[in-house]
């Protein structure tokens, strides 16, 4: 290369750097490509083109170039960070986390890096079976929540074995502070004691074939209309008008859409309806929390959908029972605990009954012991999967029946099973299906293995309704204690365990004595019509009593 060629290349590099400085990445890419056309191995040119692709939202083009740069200079913290960003953008958070950590170890101190690494760790919460960086991601998220104002709320936090009650409470409070900081000034509403029927209002967006309505519709229909008037306030997209959707809508005295109303107007409407007790049946990250923040009702309750504290100061109560929130665990909740006798979870007496259908209809072996869990796969942790694979190794007749994710998830889980000494074909996957077929396949299973720390809630009550026993491990969080409450309410406390060792020992014992599984099935079949867990009218009675007592206490 002649001196003039060198000078021209240096000028182009300077032009690229100037373009990057003023964020003109398209110009930097154009000139960078000229550098590589003259010298395909130019180190600065490769880096410039890779960075330009990254900043132009083309991480697939950026990745191999940045990897090339890093191989030549692995101690360049800036390149480590850029490579981490590219990996995060293409959906490889486990690899990205390694490079974010390397960038920090090499001296990059930047709040943006911290935020991006936190977001990457959160991505790993949702990748079932992708456990290469599981421990690191879980610890990073937990540390970030406890050490700063960062927050994570929702189902994946409940599924984290690193999130104790104290951590969940901290995260919920951080989230609440962020929500409240964004609220405008609000005028307080005046409330009066009811002088007519008590009015109950339920705010949510799942008034269709979804678990919340699946649980609540029967008892809403059974509420005494001489004493109560029941309102539904629906937001979100409007679902198709199916027969079940029609039933849900007809269960309420007043079914009202607030999807087009801003929070202020929705609160005005609810207050104008003189609602005495207002229930949120959505998660704490709901887009409509602003309605409750305006306090349109005298009493506001966080109910059923999310099994944990909301962290929000505008929810007065959380409905629970003696098992899901015993008195000694109350400090983990911002809300006061309103306990119902028996199990807090409602169920629908009108749900279909499971049918006895031959396993051969699903191409399943009749002589196998089918261990099932049809919960969401994000509830499955590496430690729990270790336990399940150990059970499979000890009991060669057993198959593990799981709800199917996409093909990459199935492939990852089969790979994880093989790594633990279990033949991958012993994992059987099933798709989402309608209620009848879901109950039918639960009955085809011999035993449901509950997940931990986020156990099965609707799944567990469905299994018991279908006649299939469930073994659960009860922890300290609400989410880990629901199956225990359900089992206790149908006289099956013997299947509640409180440690990893006890959980495995109980399952082993049942599999060694399958006649016990048949006895539990007989117990469920014979008691189905008499268990209060499955009695919508009985649940309505205790719910009414709790609401009447609550109103009396509030206004006395």
SS (H, E, C) 126-169: CCCCCCCCHHHHHHHHHHHHHHCCCCCCCHHHHCCCCCCHHHHH
Which helix (DSSP H) or strand (DSSP E) does residue 181 occupy?
helix 165-181
**pLDDT < 50: residue spans in the chain:** none
For the chain, give the number of residues: 556
Q: Do 230 and 205 form a contact (C-beta atoms < 8 A)?
A: no
- What confidence score (pLDDT) does residue 68 get? 95
Beta bridge mates, 398: 369
- What confidence score (pLDDT) does residue 427 get? 97
Integer Cα distance of 100 and 89 in angstroms? 13
Residue 79 burial by CB count (10 A; 0-12/13-18/19+): exposed, middle or buried?
buried
485-505 per-residue burial string, b: 16 or more CB within 10 A, e: under 16: bbbbbbebeebbbeeeeebbe
Q: For 499, which DSSP code? A: S
Integer Cα distance of 415 and 423 in angstroms? 9
Give the dihedral of Cα atoms 88, 92, 94, 98; nearest 10 deg. Answer: -50
Integer Cα distance of 249 and 467 in angstroms? 30
Domains defined for the chain, CATH in brackets: 3-150 (1.25.40.10), 198-339 (3.40.50.11380), 359-534 (3.40.50.2000)
309 to 330, 335, 444, 513: CA distances (angstroms): 10, 7, 35, 40
Strand pairing category for 198-204 and 228-234 = parallel
- What confidence score (pLDDT) does residue 6 get? 65
Tell me the DSSP string of 25-36.
HHHHHHHHHHHH
Q: Do 425 and 143 form a contact (C-beta atoms < 8 A)?
A: no
Residue 27 burial by CB count (10 A; 0-12/13-18/19+): exposed, middle or buried?
middle
327-345 per-residue burial string, b: 16 or more CB within 10 A, e: under 16: eebeebbbbebbbbebbbb
Taking all residues of the chain, what is their mean pLDDT, rounded to a whole number? 94
């Amino acid at each position: 290369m002649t001196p003039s060629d060198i000078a021209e290349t240096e000028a182009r590099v300077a032009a690229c750097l100037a373009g990057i400085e003023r964020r003109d990445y398209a110009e930097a890419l154009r000139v960078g490509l000229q550098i590589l056309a003259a010298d395909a191995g130019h180190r600065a040119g490769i880096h410039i083109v890779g960075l330009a692709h990254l900043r132009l939202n083309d991480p697939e083009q950026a990745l191999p170039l940045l990897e090339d740069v890093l191989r030549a200079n692995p101690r360049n913290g800036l390149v480590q960070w850029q490579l981490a960003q590219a990996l995060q953008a293409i959906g490889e958070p486990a690899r990205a986390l390694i490079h974010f950590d390397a960038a920090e170890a090499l001296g990059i101190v930047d709040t943006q890096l911290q935020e991006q690494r936190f977001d990457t760790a959160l991505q790993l919460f949702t990748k079932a079976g992708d456990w290469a960086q599981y421990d690191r991601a879980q610890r990073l998220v937990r540390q970030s929540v406890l050490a700063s104002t960062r927050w994570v709320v929702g189902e994946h936090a409940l599924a984290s074995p690193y999130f104790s009650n104290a951590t969940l409470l901290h995260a919920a409070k951080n989230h609440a502070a962020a929500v409240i900081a964004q609220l405008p000034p609000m005028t307080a509403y005046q409330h009066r004691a009811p002088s007519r029927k008590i009015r109950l209002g339920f705010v949510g967006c799942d008034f269709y074939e979804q678990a919340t309505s699946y649980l609540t519709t029967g008892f809403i229909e059974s509420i005494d209309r001489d004493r109560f008037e029941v309102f539904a306030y629906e937001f979100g997209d409007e679902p198709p008008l199916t027969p079940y959707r029609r039933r849900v809508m007809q269960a309420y005295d007043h079914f009202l859409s607030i999807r087009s109303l801003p929070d202020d107007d929705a609160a005005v409407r609810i207050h104008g309806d003189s609602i005495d007790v207002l229930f949120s049946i959505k998660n704490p990250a709901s887009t409509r929390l602003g309605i409750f923040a305006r306090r349109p009702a005298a009493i506001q309750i966080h109910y059923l959908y999310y099994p944990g504290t909301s962290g929000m100061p505008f929810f007065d109560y959380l409905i629970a029972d003696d098992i899901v929130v015993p008195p000694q665990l109350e400090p983990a909740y911002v809300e006061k605990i309103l306990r119902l006798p028996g199990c807090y979870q409602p169920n629908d007496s009108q749900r279909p009954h499971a049918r006895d259908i031959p396993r051969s209809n699903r191409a399943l072996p009749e002589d196998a012991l089918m261990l099932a869990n049809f919960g969401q796969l994000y509830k499955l942790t590496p430690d729990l999967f270790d336990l399940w694979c150990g059970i499979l190794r000890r009991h060669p007749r057993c198959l593990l029946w799981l709800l199917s994710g996409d093909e990459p998830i199935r492939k990852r889980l089969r790979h994880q099973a093989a790594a633990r000494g279990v033949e991958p074909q012993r994992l059987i996957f099933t798709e989402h299906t309608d209620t009848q077929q879901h109950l039918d396949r639960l009955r085809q299973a011999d035993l449901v293995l509950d997940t931990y720390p986020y156990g099965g809630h609707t799944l567990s009550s469905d299994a018991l309704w279908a006649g299939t026993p469930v073994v659960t491990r009860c922890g300290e969080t609400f989410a880990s204690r629901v199956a225990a409450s359900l089992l206790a309410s149908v006289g099956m406390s013997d299947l509640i365990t409180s440690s990893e060792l006890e959980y495995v020992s109980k399952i082993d014992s049942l599999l060694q004595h399958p006649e016990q599984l048949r006895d539990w099935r007989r117990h469920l079949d014979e008691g189905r019509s008499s268990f209060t867990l499955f009695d919508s009218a009985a649940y309505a009675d205790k719910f009414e009593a709790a609401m009447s007592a609550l109103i009396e206490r509030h206004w006395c």
